[in-house]
Structure 1
Amino acid sequence: MPKRKNTAIKPYKLKSGKKKYMFKLYLGIKGTKKIETTRRGFSSYEEADAVYKKMAAQNAQDFIKEKQMTFDELYQKWLPFYSRDVKESTLWKTETMYKTHLKDAFGNQYIDQITTAEIADYFLKLSAKYVNYKVLFWYMRRIFEYAIDINLLNRNPARASLLPKKTTVKKRRDTAHNFYSADEIKTFLTAAKNYSERSYVYFSILASTGMRKCEALALEWNDIEFNKHRIFIQRTTAYGENNTYITQLPKGNKKRYVPLDDKLASELKHYRTDLSDKLFHTANGDFLRPSKPDQWRKAIYAKETDLKRITIHGLRHTFATLLNQAGVNPKDVQAILGHTTIDLTLDVYTHSTAEGQEKARAEINKLF
């Protein structure tokens, strides 16, 4: 048998005892990365040698690994697994954010050639112009984790330690003052009533139950349990696939009951004037879009220029703060708001007020 000159080609045996051939080949440097490849499974030395010679003539810059895929191909492979565990609205947001940002920056690059330094530079620049840059980073990290799970990568280049800690984008609003005092909410609701009954009822629901904006928009009359003095929150409106308007489970997939006070119950009975199953609907009987309450709010502020201006979500903060100030058990407030943890209720949704400070001073006077 003639001597085989290519010492890079090695024989090995399968579990069945069958003999096969393999080789490792160094092709050079591509960018700053050493390009090496392994090929195995050849039935003969001659077959392995022919492939080795063909690959050895290849430029490292043109090399594409077997089973190598682009970041966009990996994303498309990951998406069906991700979509099984999230709501339709979350999936739509993820797809939109990916197409707007990550696809243009990384979509056509091969995943094993995307470096940690490149990712760090991208998110440093993104943090200077985009408030939600961290959400995109964690999407990217999860996609790379999937590549590791299916043995396409050995390590995740999206290293959390290099993520910028804060955005340099100016905050859009001061959330520390995004709520009303007891007197201020009464003034606002009076202004809403002067504007229209529908806006008044809608904002009254938010102020007296702490519902989220789109949970209130999704209410149906059979959710209002007058005899039990409560409202059943079992859906929310949202945008789903292809920007379609849908209803789905509330945030966290948690249905819950909220108290129905006597004044709101009376207002709701007076408010119902048609046979629609929805509290707030269009002329065609569809749920109102989230932009409608914003239109009401802006119109009310335009008409009553002296009113303190807060966001619609600020009414949820108002509800939590006033209940906390009144001494309602924080765990009960947490349950009504549908929060997962008490920390979120206390740290984010309850605020110090002048009335609360005065109440504390009065209690201190009693002690001393």
Structure 2
Amino acid sequence: MRKPNGYGSIKKLSGNRRRPFVFVITKDGKQKAMGYFCSQVEAEIYAADFNKKNNKILHGHEIIFSELFYRWLPFYIDKHQPSKSTINSYHNSYKHCLSLHEMPLKKIKYYHLQDIIDTVKRKGLSYSTCKKIRSTLSLMFKYALMMEYVDKNYVMLLNLGKNKQKRPHKPFTRQKINKLCSNLNIEGVDTVLILIYTGMRIGELLELTKDNVYLRQKYIKITKSKTKSGLRIIPIHEKIFPLIQIRMQTPGKYLICRHDEKPYNYSIYCTLWDKIMLALNAKYTPHDCRHTCATLMDNAEVNYNAKRKILGHACSDVTNGVYTHKDIRQLRKAINKIK
């Protein structure tokens, strides 16, 4: 659609630039740059908002799927403060919706959305990936309804099919745990033990900053998690206390840092994980550590509510994430039951 006179234009600058797209307007016979952007969609959003503020609304302008995503995501981040891993998950889900990117929202029907799910399944991707895509679409279209961009939401009708696990999660055996303890000289092995004896999600560990580790009180405070109940206090098990002490003495803001003091992202950590598994002749995933922690607590007959608090599962007696000194002592006693 041709834009009206005076609306401004978007250009892509040459060269290898971090923000190659520029929105320009003509003022006093000269072109003036109003902003630089990483993508054309971000530039289009800025242009639409700029013209709306200046009473130059583009008649007949239809919001497309990609514009909705880039309008919704900053709104959601500002309101809910999701973790980096969650934000990355939204971006990955958006990439799977490539066929919708240029479609006007009001022309997107149920079968367009279902085709996204069906295509992902045909590619052999997991049930979990389908769930993440549906979740992202649901949040986007709830926002679209709120902003009155659409009057229908078909996402709730999507069919994901049955969950057929390709590889059920399995806990580490006692033999493998002992092998980890005797191979602490291998880079990263300490992180595996920390995951096992805290029950943290991998994203929670990678985003854990040192100011949320309380050595004197012997607990960790999780401030960024994929769920609200994941925001919690985790007591430090006596077996991993020395490992965390060593990590606290290394340079860097984050508990788990690379040699350049930068935090790991999931992809880079998985490379380290694979090297550890190869060195130990083991086949586990980072999430298996969480299952191991749950299994060890079950075997040690840890109190049900204490177990749920430590793992960050929804628990009826946790009120607004407030923990008393008595709570922390009880959780520390519970976690140290496992060996």
After TM superposition, the score normalised by the length of structure 2 is 0.61
Partner of 1:24: none
d(CA) in 2 for partners of 1:217 and 1:71? 32
Greater strand share, 1 or 2?
A: 1
Structure 2: tracts of 5 or more residues without a match: 1-58, 317-339
Q: What residue is the counterpart of 1:332 in the other structure?
A: 306
- Equivalences, count: 253
1:188 partner letter: L
Matched with 1:231 is 219
CA contact (8 A) 2:220 2:234 kept: yes
Q: Does 1:105 align with 2:99?
A: yes
Alignment partner, residue 250 of structure 1: 225
Name the CA distance, whole Å, in 1 between partners of 2:280 and 2:68: 53
- For the residue of structure 1 that corresponds to 2:220, the secondary structure is strand
Report the counterpart of residue 285 of structure 1 in structure 2. Answer: 261
Q: Which moved more, 1:204-213 or 1:258-267?
A: 258-267
Shift of 1:319: 1.1
Deviation per residue, 1:254-290 (Å, 9 max, x gap): 5433222333334555677656565433333333444
Deviation of 1:68 after TM superposition, in Å, equals: 4.0
Residues 304-315 of structure 1 correspond to what in structure 2 (within 5 A)? 304-305=280-281, 307=282, 309-315=283-289
Q: CA deviation at 1:330?
A: 1.7
The residue aligned with 1:95 is: 91
Deviation for aligned residue 1:185: 1.7
Q: How does 1:143-222 map to 2 (within 5 A)?
A: 143-156=140-153, 158=154, 160-166=156-162, 171-175=165-169, 178-190=170-182, 192-193=183-184, 195-196=185-186, 198-219=187-208
- Compare 104-113 and 311-320 and name the one that shifted more: 104-113
Relative to structure 1, is the Cα distance of residues 257 and 289 closer, same or farther in structure 2, using a 3 angstrom cutoff?
A: same
Out of 296, 301, 318, which is 2:292 matched to?
A: 318
Structure 1 residues 162 and 297: CA distance shift in structure 2, 3 A: closer
Q: 1:265 aligns with which of 219, 237, 241?
A: 241
1:147 and 1:180 mapped to 2: Cα distance? 44
- Report the counterpart of residue 66 of structure 2 in structure 1: 72
Task: Say if 1:118 and 1:266 are closer, same or farther in 2 by CA, change over 3 A.
Answer: closer
Q: Unaligned stretches of 5+ in structure 1?
A: 1-64, 236-248, 343-368
Q: Which amino acid aligns with 2:201?
A: R
CA contact (8 A) 1:78 1:143 kept: yes
Partner AA of 2:219 in structure 1 = I
Instruction: Say if 1:128 and 1:259 are closer, same or farther in 2 by CA, change over 3 A.
Output: same
In structure 2, what is the Cα distance between the partners aligned to 1:199 and 1:148? 46
1:336-362 CA deviation, whole Å, 9 max, x = no partner?
A: 1122258xxxxxxxxxxxxxxxxxxxx
Q: SS of the residue aligned with 1:81? A: helix
The offset of 1:331, in angstroms, is 1.0
Deviation (angstroms), 1:291: 4.7
Q: Is the 8 A contact 1:215 1:233 kept in 2?
A: no
Aligned residue identity for 1:124? D
Match of 1:361 in 2: none
TM-score, structure 1 as length reference: 0.56
Residue of structure 1 equivalent to 2:133 = 136
Quote how far apart the aligned CAs of 1:322 are. 0.8
Does residue 302 in structure 1 map to residue 278 in structure 2?
Answer: yes
Residues 64 and 101, structure 2, Cα contact 8 Å, conserved in 1: yes
Q: For 1:76 and 1:268, locate their aligned partners in 2 and report how far apart those are by CA, in whole Å.
A: 39
One-letter code aligned to 1:251? K
Looking at structure 1, the residues matched to 188 and 103 of structure 2 have their Cα atoms a distance apart, in angstroms, of 50
Q: Percent identity?
A: 22
Does the CA contact (< 8 Å) of 1:189 and 1:203 recur in 2? no
Shift of 1:179: 0.7
Quote the residue 2:12 is aligned against.
none
Which structure is larger by alpha-carbon Rg, 1 or 2? 1
